[in-house]
Structure 1
C-alpha cells in the first residue's frame, strides 16, 4: 500500500551493479480475546499487561533517510517492526509472544510464503546472514529469543543485546546502500521467523479463525500483462496488505513480488524489465514534478496478437506489458519510486514511464479505516481500477480484463470481511482514523 506526503524525500542512489537488502525485526503476536472486565482484572493483577499495551513512539526521522521517510539516516538502527506480520501486527492487538526455536529459513519455507516464482526461488543471501547473526547471538547470550507485544517485537534479555549489536553494526556501515541492505534483510528475516505457526503462508492472516484462503478463487489474467509488486519490507507479511491479493489471484508469474532493498529480487526484476525495453515498462504512480500519462498512452501493438499466436505457453521471451505497483506507505514509496527512477535512467538514459488513474474509485478498505481523501487508495483497489480502465480501450476490450478487476475487488471485500470480523471478535472499533502519511494515492 502507498501513501502521500507533502514533501518529496531525497532519492536513494542505486550504485552501479549494487544490490539492495537489509535486516529488521520480528513480528509475532498472540491475541488475547479477553472481555473488558477480564482485561481490567488482568491489568490490575500484573503491570506487565499494561506495559504490553503501551506503544513507544517511533524514533525521530530526518529528510535524508534512505527509506524516504522523515527520519535520520541512523533511525533504522533502532527501528523495530510496526504493524507487520506475526501477532496481529497491523491490527494493533496485544500479544503473548513466542520463542524462537529453529532459526532456519529454507527454500521450502520461503516458497510456502508465496514469494517465489520461476525467476526468484532462493532465500536472499543477506536474509540468511541476518538469521545466522541471530543464531550466533543466541549462543552468546544463552537466552531464548522471544517475540510478542504490539508490533511483535523482540522481547526479554535477548532483545537488549540484539538491539545494541544491531545499532553498532548499522552505524559501522558507511555506505547508505549497505545500510539499506542491512535494514531490509533484517526486517524480512525477523518477520518470517516471528510469523511462524501463526500466520497463514498464503493469505498472511491468522491461521485460526481468520484464514481466507477458501474465499480466494484463482482468476485468469491476460498473459500480455504482468504486475510487479514492489513491496517495502514493512509491508511484508502485513495482514492488511492488499498487494498480496494480486499473486494470490493471478499467480506468482503474472503478479511478481519484488522486495525493496533485497538484492536478488531487485536485480532479477531489472533483468526482466531491461530485456522488455522501456516502452514495455510502466509504473502506476502519481508524479508531482511532471504530469503522469494515462492508459491511452500505452502502446500495446507489440503485445496484441503475438502473445497467443507465437507463444501458446508461458515464455520469458514473450512480449509482455510490465506494470509496477509501488507497495508501501507514501513516505516510504517516494524513496522507492525514486530508486526505480534512478535505475531506469541508468538503464535507458531516461526516467520511468508513469501513469495515473483517470478517476480512482473509493476503496472498500475505507470502511475499515478513515482516509483523509477519497483518492487515496490501497494497492489492490488501484490495480483493479487500472484493469477497468485498460478494458475500456477498444483494442483490449475482448481480453476479459473487467472480469479480472471484478475478481480482485471481490477478494478485497473478503479481506475486509476477515479484518472486520477479527476486530468485532476482539471487541475493537471497526473503523479507526489513521495518519495521512499512511494512505495510498494513485
Structure 2
C-alpha cells in the first residue's frame, strides 16, 4: 500500500497490528484486517514490528488470507528498507505464487542494499516465471545497477511482450548507455494501449536518460506518473555532475510537464471527443488518461458560456472524482477563468492524499489567476510538503508570483 494512503489505517495501533497479523483468519470477523495490519507495520519503526513482518513473510500457507497477508508483509519490508530482511525476501523468490515473488523482488529493489553474487543469481533465477514477474526482476536489476553478466536480460529486448522488452531496454540504457534502446521506449509512449504507455513512462524513469524528458511532457499518461520519472531523470543527471546538462532547459521541461496543458499533449486519437457536454462528461471519467485529456481539451475549446455552465455541473456532480477534480483545477487556470477562482482556492486547500495532484494544478492556476491571497499556503507547501513535484511546483510558482 502506498505511503500516500497511510491514513487508511491510522486508527489501528501498532500493538493491535502486531496481534492481528498473526491471528487465525477463521477467528476474525473480517480476515482482511490481517493484510491491513501488515501495511500498518510497514509504517512503523520498532524492531518488534520488523521482526513480526519477517516472521509473517517467511510463512507459506494454502489459506487465501494468509497468502495475501504474506504478500503484504513482503511489500511492507520494502518500505522498512532494512538489510536484515533480505534473506526472507530472497527465500520468497522460489515461491510458485507470482504476486508473492513480485512483491519480494520489488522490496529487494526498494531496500537498495548490495547483493552478493549468490543473491544476484537467485534473483536472476526468478526470471523463469510469468511476464509480470520477468518485468519485476529486470526492473530490480536496473534499479540496483546490477550488470547483465550472462546477457540474459539483453536477450529479452526482443521479447514479444513490450512490457518485458521495455524493461530490458531500460536496463541497457542505464547500465550500458545503449542509445538504440531509447527509440522503442519513446515509440511506446504513444501506444494505443494505456498500460503500455504507462509502462514506458516507468521504464524511462528507470533508464534515467535525459533525452526522454521532453517526450514525457507530451505523453498522455497521468501527470504524477510522468512527474515521478521526470524527477528521477533530472536527479540522476544532477548527481552525475554531467557537464552537458542545461538546468534551465530541464527546469522548463519540468514546468511544462507539471502545468500539464491538455492542448499541448500528443493526443493522436482517430476519433477526438467533440466539444459537447455529454461527451466531455464521459471522457473525463474514462479509465484511459488519453481520453481524459482529450475531454479536458474539448472543454477548453467550448464556447465560453457553455464551458462555465459545464464546469459548474462537473464540480457539483463529479467533483469527488479525483481525475475530474484535478482537470477542473487545471483548466480554470489555463483558461484564466477568474470567475471560477474559488474552485482553484478550494483545490489548493485539499489535504487528502488523493488530491495532491489537484494541489499542483491549483498552484499553477493561482499563478495564472494572480491569486496572491494564496501565497502563504503556497509558501507552506513549498517548504514542508514531502511530495517533490508539489513542493517543486509551489517553489516555482512562489518565485514567479514575487
Q: Sort the TM-score into its range (normalised by shorter chain).
A: under 0.3
Between structures 1 and 2, the one with greater strand share: 1
Pick 1 or 2: higher relative contact order, CA cutoff 8 A, min separation 6: 1
Between structures 1 and 2, the one with greater helix share: 2
TM-score (norm: length of structure 2) = 0.26
TM-score (norm: length of structure 1) = 0.24
